[in-house]
Structure 1
Amino acid sequence: MNGTTALREQLRRCCPGTRSEPERRVPRALTTRNFRMEINARVGRFYGDLVDFRARVIVEIDGRAFHIDPATFTSDRRRQNTLVLDGWLVLPYSAATVMSDLDGVVEEIMTVVRRRRKSTNSPPPAETF
């Protein structure tokens, strides 16, 4: 079992399951700052690009092409509203913003998650599926 911890860290760093370069850059930048969030984690019937269960924060990173279809755009708004009504804060970022201001995006995510973690001061909620 020697090396298992190192292997898990390498697998986590390569961000499996992400669909785009911006979705890979944000977790890598967070990891570089020793800040961890779940990647492509399930939240109820949905999945979030990055999720912090304790702070109840979901980060979404989408390109313009993802929302070009009106049905997809509408579905995404309904999904976000459902999550917000269930107590989640959804932080949406455009792929273009991530690519042009990665440090700003990462700092904002870290600030929001830290503030919400402090305000809860409780263990993470049990996941519901």
Structure 2
Amino acid sequence: MPTAQTAPPVTAFMLIKTTPEWLAMTPRERMDAFTTQVVPAIRSKTTGVRSRFYDTEFYSTRVTDVWVWEADDHDAYQHLIDALRETPFWDRYFEIVDLLVGTENGYARTYGLDPVATIAT
């Protein structure tokens, strides 16, 4: 019996840069702002999203952080962006430098090929 094919998750690489307002806060104030202003908005308006956060300020001046999001589908991703835009995260604490959005191994699915990936030996 064939299995139902599901849409691949949407992955978004959110390239961001800290603002002077964010940097003027103490580390505790930053964590409090994030957990009381940003996280509740995401949780109340989205489902099916997961994230990882990477610091890049030691290597780049244009992009200080990369927030990697995985959403179950494009609708979940859209709700995420809508939620973030309604918080101080968006253009107040961070400047959104770029959004790179895609699906993993999309070319392989399009052409019915096995994905090419490297494996550590």
**TM over 0.5: same fold?**
no
Q: Determine which structure has the larger strand proportion and give its number.
A: 2
Q: Determine which structure has the larger helix proportion and give its number.
A: 1
Specify the structure having the higher radius of gyration (Cα). Answer: 2
Q: TM-score scaled to structure 1, two decimals?
A: 0.28
